[in-house]
């Protein structure tokens, strides 16, 4: 009888835990000018910056007014973005003409262009090193741009095709996914490969980093791997939609937001060394980019639907038993536009 009571209690606690998990709720679908095709996103103040590859622009989306207020035009297949808020500079990787455009985050005007020996996709700014890194999947290499020495460019051989990158200031290492080698490679301050973490999975693409708990999150073919940043040991593997290739880690919620090419968003719990999917939601667009705004608890997913560009806005709701209308009471300034479609 005591055993049965304990079993019932355990079941109740489990159900309560599941019921209290956070969920994602769709709150808006915004029209974006230009044909579909999006890549990296970044924040600069109240603005969400979107690499709009299909339109050849970088879209400046005002998160308060929920509209594109400016476009940086004339970009050539823009893919990677990196923001230096201290210098008020936005770096844009132009895969179409082997260059990086530098634009002001004050007036969004292009200031300068850096020519590269590769076609750049991902960008990473490492402020501690005063370096900007660009990876080129098609070229099979990456480059380091020394911002302190007049944007001097140097090539780094990784032995494969680089994808996403993250910077670990504690170890002063840049981690890079090498897709065709199924490795995560660590590059030191001298541009040399310091470590190679061989993965028991294929096609690593998206990469995110939890600097406080020393965890690397790696998107592979149908899962997200959790690695120890010091040893490369695999600590966990969370199933995710096939084609998951973009990750965004948020320290405030201790969550990884993983997006697949079909527009599905997987919100992965990472607290207390427990890793599992809290909620996976299929959005109304096809697209693989994601950004999370902790100030508003919003997830942004740009993509296409019926040949038109859309930006889906999701809200992270901590208590799934709370209706969307109740949640909107916490954000009264946003309720008028929350249902615009």
Cα separation, 190 vs 125, whole angstroms: 16
* C-alpha 336 chain-centroid distance: 28
N-term to C-term CA, the chain: 55
pLDDT (0 to 100) of residue 77: 97
Dihedral sign from CA coordinates of 190, 234, 205, 283:
negative
pLDDT (0 to 100) of residue 321: 62
Nearest to 71 by CA among 87, 85, 86, 90: 90
Cα separation, 15 vs 18, whole angstroms: 5
At residue 326, does pLDDT exceed 50? Answer: no
At residue 337, does pLDDT exceed 90? Answer: no
CB atoms within 10 A of CB 304: 18
- Among 46-55, 166-175, 186-195, 329-338, name the one with the lowest average pLDDT: 329-338
pLDDT (0 to 100) of residue 137: 86
Nearest to 316 by CA among 116, 72, 63, 23: 23
In the chain, what is the greatest distance between 2 CA atoms, to the nearest angstrom? 76
| Interval 11-68: pLDDT, tens | 444 444 444 589 999 999 999 999 999 999 999 999 999 999 999 999 999 999 999 9
| Interval 216-228: pLDDT, tens | 999 999 999 999 9
Domains of the chain by residue range: 24-334
| Model confidence band, residue 320 (pLDDT cutoffs 50, 70, 90) | low
Nearest to 247 by CA among 218, 286, 211: 218
At residue 234, does pLDDT exceed 90? Answer: yes
Looking at every residue in the chain, the average pLDDT score rounds to 90
CB atoms within 10 A of CB 89: 20
**Cβ neighbours of residue 137 closer than 8 Å, sequence gap 6 or more:** 121, 161, 162, 163, 179
| Interval 239-264: pLDDT, tens | 999 999 999 999 999 999 999 999 99
Q: What's the CATH architecture for 24-334?
A: 7 Propeller (2.130)
Average pLDDT over residues 141-150: 95
At residue 96, does pLDDT exceed 80? Answer: yes
Nearest to 80 by CA among 141, 132, 36: 132
At residue 330, does pLDDT exceed 80? Answer: no
Measured CA distances, 53 to 38, 100, 126 (Å): 5, 14, 24
At residue 178, does pLDDT exceed 60? Answer: yes
């Amino acid at each position: 009888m005591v055993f049965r009571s304990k079993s019932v209690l355990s079941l109740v606690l489990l159900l309560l835990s599941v019921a209290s998990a956070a969920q994602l709720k769709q709150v808006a679908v915004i029209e974006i000018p230009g044909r579909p095709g999006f890549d990296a996103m970044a924040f600069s103040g109240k603005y969400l910056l979107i690499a709009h590859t299909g339109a050849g622009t970088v879209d400046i989306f005002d998160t308060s007014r929920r509209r594109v207020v400016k476009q940086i035009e004339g970009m050539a297949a823009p893919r990677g973005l990196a923001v230096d808020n201290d210098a008020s500079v936005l770096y844009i990787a132009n895969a179409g003409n082997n260059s990086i455009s530098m634009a002001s985050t004050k007036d969004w005007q292009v200031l300068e262009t850096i020519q590269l020996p590769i076609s750049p996709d991902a960008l990473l700014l490492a402020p501690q090193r005063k370096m900007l890194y660009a990876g080129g999947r098609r070229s099979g290499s990456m480059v380091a741009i020394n911002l302190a020495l007049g944007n001097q460019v140097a090539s780094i051989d990784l032995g494969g095709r680089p994808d996403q990158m993250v910077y670990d200031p504690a170890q002063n290492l840049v981690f890079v996914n090498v897709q065709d080698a199924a490795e995560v490679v660590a590059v030191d301050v001298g541009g040399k490969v310091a470590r190679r973490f061989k993965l028991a999975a294929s096609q690593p693409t998206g990469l995110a980093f939890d600097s406080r708990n020393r965890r690397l999150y790696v998107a592979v073919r149908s899962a997200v791997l959790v690695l120890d940043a010091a040893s490369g040991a695999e600590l966990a593997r969370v199933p995710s939609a096939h084609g998951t290739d973009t990750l965004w880690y948020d320290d405030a919620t201790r969550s990884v937001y993983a997006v697949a090419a079909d527009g599905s968003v997987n919100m992965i719990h990472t607290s207390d060394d427990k890793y599992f999917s809290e909620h996976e939601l299929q959005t109304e667009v096809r697209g693989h980019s994601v950004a999370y705004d902790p100030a508003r608890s919003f997830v942004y997913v740009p993509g296409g639907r019926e040949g038109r560009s859309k930006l889906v806005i999701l809200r992270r709701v901590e208590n799934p038993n709370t209706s969307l209308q109740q949640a909107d009471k916490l954000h009264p300034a946003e309720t008028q536009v929350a249902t615009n479609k």
